[in-house]
Amino acid sequence: MPRREGMERKDLLAANVKIFKSQGKALAEYAKPTTKVIVVGNPANTNAFIAAKYAVGKIPAKNFSAMTRLDHNRALAQLALKTGTTIGDVKNVIIWGNHSGTQFPDVTHATVKKNGNETDAYSAVGDNAFLQGPFIATVQKRGGVIIEKRKLSSAMSAAKAACDHIHDWHFGTKAGEHVSMAVPSDGSYGIPQGLIFSFPVTIESGEWKIVQGLSFDDFAKGKIAATTKELEEERDDALKACDDANI
């Protein structure tokens, strides 16, 4: 069920939980155990969590993902616009957390190539206030702005992001680069086990791996705590809705 103008994400939760519970059960009954799943419908992280929960025993949780590549691509585009480059010159942005307004678009580890020289994103932009304010807000709220303008949710840009997501999951990431995928947490960075959370990942032979050893300042820690809290609340609400749904 797509989000429409005036709808809050929580409005979507009850309706979509029933849908994704039935989808998970259908996958468990009919799909191959090697099936890989990308969830795009919002709230994407929690919908993926529910689908994976009801496909358990047949399809491993690691084969379920939610799409934050659209946010990732938007972050690349905003950095490219700000620095007068192209998205091909920007790499290693990260979307942490939920595909929602609490997501944390992080450029701390990103680089920008300009005039043949590669530099860190903060130096390339030269405006910390922008990167910790308007940049984050633009990426977080882009979906809502598009709905406001189109009266419908993102279409082509979302489809392109889904293609990018599946392409990299199948073919792998380039050396020295990572992409953003919402996948089941293994406890990395203190994120609760099993929560579908967007992380930076590298991919090889069809298997994703969360990038380890990244450091956070207090600003980043606060942003990650906020999106984690929202995802935990969504998960708990969704599980209650599942119990209430007679499927």
Q: Are 105 and 135 in contact (CB under 8 A)?
A: yes
Strands (E), the chain: 37-39, 64-66, 90-91, 94-96, 104-106, 111-114, 117-120, 179-184, 196-204, 207-210
26: Cα within 13 Å, side-chain hemisphere: 8
On the question of a cis peptide bond just before residue 43, with omega within 30 degrees of 0, the verdict is: yes
Partners of residue 179 on adjacent β-strands? 201
Main-chain phi, psi angles of 182, to 5 degrees: -90, 115
Catalytic one among 72, 99, 165, 178? 99
Q: Are 52 and 184 in contact (CB under 8 A)?
A: yes
Rounded Cα–Cα distance for residues 241 and 235 (Å): 10
Helices (H), 31-133: 44-55, 69-83, 121-125, 128-131
Query: Is 99 known to be catalytic?
Result: yes
Instruction: Report, as residue numbers or ranges, the catalytic residues.
Output: 99
